[in-house]
Amino acid sequence: MFSGPLHESILKRAQEKGLVEIRVHDLRDWTHDRHRVVDDVPYGGDAGMVLKPEPLFEAVDALRKAESEVLLLTPQGERFDHAMACRLAETSHLILLCGRYEGFDDRVRSVADREVSIGDFVLSGGELPALVVIDALVRLIPGALGDESSAMQDSFVGGVLDHPQYTRPPVYRGLRVPEVLLSGDHERIRRWRRKEALRRTLLRRPDLLKLAALNAEDQSLLSEIQAEHEGERDEQTERP
């Protein structure tokens, strides 16, 4: 599950440049029985299998360093977001523990520094959430992206969603690229992009604006956006 994504695109190049080292460990390496069993039936009776505590405890014991932070991927954890990604990207050594089957023996929580969830849904295991976390963190490492400004323009940076993006051709199936982007006027383009980023955030994720660091220009742009939408609603009301 890890071999494909970890050897493609940005993750592959970041490792080749020596910007990050990513290792995948098999929990079976920390078993002590002939069949290398990592799971067992749950006490009390229930469906499914549960990961045993011994392999997870011993894996963390073997891999942990003084500067390590251990993350347990679980739907019961703290919601992973951009702010958490920025903080974790500054950590020099992370250990990501991936659950499987019906989960893991609850005693495993005691070896984790933080429990992390990528959303309110259940997956077959923690491998995909781990890959999501890894990809989000590597993008933030200086030198990982071809254009350093790309990460600074992504959604959630500065507390707002990203502005719309367009490329050639200028007209496709009657859909046109906004004229301002073809104008060559860099100040107009900058202002348009910021305004559209704020518009998208206001319409789609207004909760983000409560925590966003907005300056005087942002406040002015939001006022313009709200006035425009109020005007549109008035026009719709007046139509027969």
Q: Which residues are catalytic?
A: 75, 102, 139, 154
Structure tokens at 50: 């549960």
Residues in the chain: 240
Q: Residue type for 222, please?
A: L
Residue 18 DSSP SS3: coil
**Partners of 93 in the β-ladder:** 68
Question: Cα–Cα distance between 61 and 149 in angstroms, integer?
Answer: 39
Structure tokens at 25: 């460990």
Q: Residue type for 212, please?
A: A
Phi-psi region of 158 (alpha: psi -120 to 50; beta: other; left: phi over 0): left
The b-or-e profile of 75-95 (16+ CB within 10 A means b, else e) is bebeebebebbeebbeeeebb
Pairing outcome for strands 68-79 and 93-98: parallel
Angle in degrees, CA 67, 70, 74, rounded to 5: 165
Q: Which helix (H) or strand (E) holds 138?
A: helix 127-138
Phi-psi region of 96 (alpha: psi -120 to 50; beta: other; left: phi over 0): beta
